Homo-oligomer: A and B are copies of this chain.
Amino acid sequence: MPYKLYYWDSIPGRGEFVRLALEEAGADYIDIAREPGGTNEMLKLMKEPGGAAAPFAPPFLVDGSLVISHVANILFYLGPRLGLAPEDEGLRTVANGLQLTITDFVAEIHDTYHPIAVSLYYEDQKPEALRRSADFLSERLPVFLGYFERVLAQNSSSQRYMVGDRLSYVDLSLFQVIEGLRYAFPRAMEAYEANIPGLVALHDAVRALPRIRRYLASQRRLAFNEACVFRHYPELDRQS
């Protein structure tokens, strides 16, 4: 039975971290948002009585009768099934810790343009967004990317992968983070990328994977846009 991925239509967003894993594994899955009536089906499912399994927000994955919510949780579940997690249980726990740091980083990226309220438009919190983005680019982006660069450089099994000696969903997610940051903050990234040669090489290696390359060239890969988590507002990028 195919996996069913539920996420908002028309944006890569947080769903993309799951799509990349499914695509790299060549897994059988249905991207519900792309099916006719998919969004309505998702909203209906979220309102149905589901007890503890009712998801708080998309993305969520349905595998048979199991409903799995949150990106890191979905990837922790899929990782071993798709051959995209370490064999060792301890290293799987380490991979989950890294993925949760990516989760936090993505939330901070989101808040650059929504610092006051998700219920308000960006235009209604623009002065605050300018202030938050400046801090994000000078303080937070180097802290997070520097951390991931350090983890990669110190991986005793392989400097090609984040955890252990083979590709995992953590590598795929970091590829997507770099892609998103380059879209959202092209000037800041251009200025910063010399500090993270390992991550840039990791990004390029993921992009060159045969299945990923085919996926990126396909209609299934959605373009970034200003309804996504990664948004390009030039005034929030590094100035000069």
Contact = CB atoms under 8 A, between A and B. Distances in A.
Interface in A123-157: 128, 131-132, 135-136, 139-140, 144, 147, 150-151, 154-156
A173 interface: no
B115 A93 contact: no
Q: Size class of A's contact patch?
A: 35 or more
A121 interface: no
Contacts of A120: 135
A174 interface: no
Nearest to A115: B115
Interface stretch (A16-24, A46-54, A197-205): A46-54
A41 B75 CA distance: 32
Classify the interface of chain A: helix, strand, loop or mixed.
Answer: helix
A156 to B, nearest CB: 6
A93 B116 contact: no
A119 B49 CA distance: 42
Nearest to A120: B135
A98 interface: yes
A128 B97 CA distance: 31
A5 to B, nearest CB: 15
Interface of A: 49-56, 60, 65-70, 72-73, 76-77, 90-91, 93-98, 100-101, 103-104, 107, 111, 115-120, 128, 131-132, 135-136, 139-140, 144, 147, 150-151, 154-156, 162-164
28 contacts: A51-B154, A52-B91, A52-B95, A52-B98, A53-B97, A54-B150, A54-B151, A56-B97, A56-B101, A56-B144, A56-B147, A60-B97, A66-B93, A68-B93, A69-B100, A70-B97, A73-B93, A73-B97, A107-B107, A111-B111, A115-B132, A117-B132, A117-B139, A118-B140, A119-B135, A119-B139, A120-B135, A128-B128
